[in-house]
Amino acid sequence: MSDDWLNKINWSEDGLVPAIAQDAVTGRVLMVAWMNYEALKLTAQKKEAVYWSRSRKKLWHKGEESGHFQKVKEIRVDCDSDVILLQIEQQGGIACHTGRESCFFSKLENGQWVDVDAVLKLPDEIYKK
């Protein structure tokens, strides 16, 4: 497979684009992380989400520590070619490092953020040493 398709992406100055992981079945938005050229290329090759960790400054094969890999069913890009949308199957049903299904568990209610989703598994159980 040629890599030409990667040249369509409008990478930011730091060489990144945001990537949304959406549950392919329920449609729930699970998380947003960042990808560089290599991460997006690997995501397409492996059919598993690979991001660029801005904090650790390295490629991050999602699930490499937790076992919560993201099987990629579809890759889309938006009209400006600067945001990626993945349809995924979330292994273990947990995308968030807090042990929740989705990273978007905090909801604005009457001027306050309220955590409305349950923790399915404690982080200590997810990231076993």
- Which chain residues interact with its own copies by CB under 8 A? 1-2, 4-5, 8, 18, 20, 22, 26-29, 31-32, 44, 74-81, 83, 85, 96-98, 100, 103-108, 110-113
d(CA 43, CA 41): 5
* Beta pairing class for 29-35 and 84-90: unpaired
Q: How far is the CB of 32 from its own copies (least distance, A)?
A: 4
Q: How far is the CB of 28 from its own copies (least distance, A)?
A: 7
For its own copies, the closer CB: 59 or 85: 85
Q: How far is the CB of 118 from its own copies (least distance, A)?
A: 14
| Cα radius of gyration rounded to whole Å, the chain | 15
d(CA 89, CA 86): 10
For its own copies, the closer CB: 29 or 42: 29
Please state the φ and ψ torsions of residue 4, each to the nearest 5 degrees: -50, -40
For its own copies, the closer CB: 34 or 69: 34
Per-residue tokens: 81? 């070619």
Q: How far is the CB of 44 from its own copies (least distance, A)?
A: 7
Overall size of the chain counted in residues:
129
